[in-house]
Chains A and B, each alone.
Chain A
């Protein structure tokens, strides 16, 4: 085997191997989509987080602005405390509210940020955000519906 031919093929092999790693990282994985350089931490208390997971997205107006970094249970208030890392470019007014939403009917859950109107003060990590809406639990929704249905007067029979 000629030396230069061998070098060429080994070089090509390593190059396309690394290229496919990059393809996996950038196109298949989420490395390219959101990797903030600097973040600040927000903490929020929720009554029920449903199926929210660590590394779940935090979105505002549908744009990813951060990721969930940890989820803990507070044994004093019986609430879930969710910490998120938000990109420092994005600041939200103090009276913003957080809700747990679902992408699509059966998709993964994420935190949606609805910006408030207080332009004097912004949210920072110093205090717990309590203006929150919990995840919708399907069983509760169904039992509510059945309960309302039972409370209604029966429809007159034709």
Chain B
């Protein structure tokens, strides 16, 4: 009987702990939005964060986008040419990049490149008591440290996803048209005929925007909430990458089922 009671207590403790953390994250998000005004009235803070999370992620985004496009071109051609419709390669590459791979893979790379860096930075600031020192100087650490990092990530993410898709389409073009020799005119014209601006490209942008909010929020929250020790910060970084990846994939499914139903 006592054993059962202990098991139930442990279960309940685990659930309330997680719910409490979720509620804390929600309150943190609200506080972050309230204190966001300073971010936009001091654009220099924001510019620095766009530099850190956007510009420094450019290399990994561009190179991976190119390789994803190249692979899509090769694999797509292999399958399509069996049915004698290798001209449809442009549609395949563009639709898979713009709708899914662009936002999702760019967000996964962004979480591991920029999200982890943001968590590490804020976590170390907490561990070395810089956040407390700011509070002592009447500088709100959420307005000064957290909000610019959050908005920097939110602004960078859609741009990075668009770059990923564009470079990927170029990679598909390189393999399909330049190396294999698919007809260039039908590659582009079939692509333009079936990729719709509103249903495909806009939905991709909305997806990448939502992923940007999710990844940036998880990154700043894990950093702010980390245990201020070396081990605590390293665990917070791991949690950022894992939680972001799960959140991106789950959100992707939810968004896709809303956006592309009946197509």
Question: Measuring CB to CB, which residues of chain A are less than 8 angstroms from any residue of chain B?
Answer: 1, 3, 6-7, 9-10, 12-14, 16-18, 20-21, 23-25, 27-31, 33, 55, 57, 106, 108
As a 0/1 sequence over residues 181 to 194 of chain B, the CB contacts with chain A under 8 angstroms (1 = contact) are 00000001001111
List 9 additional A-B contacts (Cβ < 8 Å) besides A23-B169, A28-B195.
A9-B51, A10-B55, A13-B54, A27-B188, A29-B197, A30-B195, A30-B197, A55-B196, A106-B85
B201 touches A29 (CB 8 A): yes
B162 touches A28 (CB 8 A): no
How many A-B residue pairs lie within 8 Å, measured between CB atoms?
84
B166 touches A23 (CB 8 A): yes
* From B159, B167, B201, contact of A13 by CB (8 A): B159
Complex Cα gap A30–B190 (Å) = 10
Complex Cα gap A21–B94 (Å) = 13
CB contacts (< 8 Å) of A9 on chain B: these are 51, 55
Q: Enumerate B116-137 residues with CB–CB distance to A below 8 Å.
A: none
Q: In the complex, what residue of chain B is closest to A23 when comparing beta carbons? A: B166
A1 touches B51 (CB 8 A): yes
Given A24-B162, A25-B197, also A30-B48 (CB < 8 A): no
Q: Chain B binding site: helix, strand, loop or mixed by DSSP?
A: helix
Q: In the complex, what residue of chain A is closest to B62 when comparing beta carbons? A: A16
B71 within 8 A of A: no
CB contacts (< 8 Å) of B156 on chain A: these are 13
Complex Cα gap A17–B51 (Å) = 13
Given A28-B192, A29-B192, also A21-B162 (CB < 8 A): yes
B252 within 8 A of A: no
* From A6, A21, A24, A28, contact of B51 by CB (8 A): A6
Q: In the complex, what residue of chain A is closest to B83 when comparing beta carbons? A: A106
Q: What are 30 A-to-B residue pairs whose CB atoms are below 8 Å?
A: A3-B44, A6-B51, A9-B51, A10-B47, A10-B50, A10-B55, A13-B58, A13-B156, A17-B158, A17-B159, A17-B162, A17-B163, A20-B165, A20-B167, A21-B205, A23-B166, A23-B169, A24-B162, A24-B169, A24-B201, A25-B201, A27-B188, A28-B169, A29-B201, A30-B193, A31-B197, A31-B201, A55-B196, A55-B199, A57-B193
